[in-house]
Amino acid sequence: MAIRIERPTTVGEFLARAGDYLAAREAEHNLIFAITSTLTTNPEVYPMTPLFAVALDGQRVVAAAMQTPPHNLVLTEVDDAAAVAALAEALRDEALPGVLGPPAQAAEFAARWTAAAGRQARKAMAERIYRCTRVIPPRAAPGIARIARLADRDLLIEWLTAFNVEAHLRAFDEAPVIADRWLSRAGARTMWLWEVDGRVVSLTGASGPTPHGMRVGPVYTPPEERGRGYAGNLVAAATRAQLDAGRRFVFLFTDLANPTSNHVYQAIGYEPVGDVDWWSFEASALP
């Protein structure tokens, strides 16, 4: 049977169709749950009309994808290889800056979509999804964890911008808006800071609720403060707070090009779940 693509027009319709499929692999789909949660509770965060697509074999969901423009398309796990080609064809006329998804499927989607659109695909980042159910106490570092407050706004703006630069993310000018969103604590989001003798040395956030979990990130420590255990202790504290609040899981993403962070998170109890690749769609070179 040929793969059929449905195009829900609202987040409610998308979750009604694909929610059970997403929940069956909650860790792998934690980013999509985070985005759909924001669309449900704070839709003003994404002022442009979101895009949804669900691939079906008969009535069985075998893949799905969503985009909140101008951000990348996010591709789910795929249970039928034919779904990737069907999704690429169905979305060929959409304005997509890139795709994020399981490595093989993201690469195939990128190749198919850019071939049809006359664009080039470039692999921008390889990431790993981690899940934690129990925090292993890290080696103690001086300082304490605390929740960010309004007086920290300028610091948040500066460090969120620096994080975006290091992570090669777009929209650097959105840092003030993002900082205010963190400080508002809307949608169960909380920004945590590690403070040593009154001086903030690291930050991380907890946001993006899933049916049974929450995601931690971004994690940022200025270069001059790295290697002292601040980020590990802060992530452990933020993770423990989520588990103590009743979450069964806490998730985070790491850049596979950074072996230090991957080691640190595993040392405090995070276990790898799967990998995702980010492909950027760029203009073709002139002949």
What is residue 168's predicted lDDT score, i.e. its pLDDT?
67
What is residue 45's predicted lDDT score, i.e. its pLDDT?
86
What is residue 285's predicted lDDT score, i.e. its pLDDT?
56
Average pLDDT estimate for 123-130: 96
Alpha carbon distance 152, 158 (integer Å): 10
CATH of the domain at 146: 3.40.630.30
The residue that leads in pLDDT, 43 or 239, is 239
The answer on 92 and 12 residing in a single domain is yes
What is residue 167's predicted lDDT score, i.e. its pLDDT?
76
The answer on 27 and 122 residing in a single domain is yes
Question: Which residue matches tokens 């695909």?
Answer: 121
For the cut 80, the answer to whether the pLDDT of residue 19 exceeds it is yes
> Residue 64's domain spans which residues?
4-126+277-283
Alpha carbon distance 119, 37 (integer Å): 32
Sequence-distant contacts of 242-246: CB under 8 A, at least 24 apart? 242/206, 242/213, 242/214, 242/216, 243/132, 243/133, 243/134, 243/135
The answer on 105 and 20 residing in a single domain is yes
> What tens digit of pLDDT does each residue of 22-43 get?
999 999 999 999 999 999 988 9
The answer on 122 and 22 residing in a single domain is yes
Residue 243's pLDDT band (cuts 50, 70, 90): very high
Alpha carbon distance 5, 102 (integer Å): 19
159: amino acid identity, one letter: W
The answer on 139 and 102 residing in a single domain is no
What rounded mean pLDDT belongs to the chain? 94
Cis peptide before 222 (omega within 30 of 0): no
The answer on 92 and 17 residing in a single domain is yes
Q: How many domains in the chain?
A: 2
Residue 124's pLDDT band (cuts 50, 70, 90): very high
For the cut 60, the answer to whether the pLDDT of residue 171 exceeds it is no
Cis peptide before 218 (omega within 30 of 0): yes
What is residue 118's predicted lDDT score, i.e. its pLDDT?
93
The answer on 260 and 243 residing in a single domain is yes
Contact in structure between 236 and 265 (CB atoms under 8 Å): no
The answer on 118 and 8 residing in a single domain is yes
Both tokens of 146, joined, read: 């605390």
Residue 286's pLDDT band (cuts 50, 70, 90): very low
How many C-beta neighbours within 10 Å does residue 16 have?
Answer: 11
The answer on 113 and 53 residing in a single domain is yes
For the cut 90, the answer to whether the pLDDT of residue 287 exceeds it is no
User: What is the enclosing helix (H) or strand (E) of 202?
Assistant: strand 199-207
Contact in structure between 157 and 175 (CB atoms under 8 Å): yes
The answer on 168 and 105 residing in a single domain is no
